[in-house]
Structure 1
Amino acid sequence: MKKVFSLLFIVLICFCLLHTCKSEVKATFVGVIEEMINDRAAYVYVTKAENDAVYGIIYVNLAKNPNEKFKVGDKVKVGYDGTVEPTAPLWVTTLTVELVE
Structure 2
Amino acid sequence: MRMTHLLAFAAPLALLLPLSAQAAWPKDLKAQYTAQCVPAAAKTIGEEAAKAHCACGADKIEKNFTTAQIKELMGPAGAKNPQLQQDALNAIAECKASPQPKK
TM-score (norm 2): 0.28
Of Structure 1 and Structure 2, the greater helix share is in 2
Q: Which of 1 and 2 has greater Rg? A: 1
TM-score (norm 1): 0.28
Structure with bigger RCO (C-alpha 8 Å, 6+ apart): 2
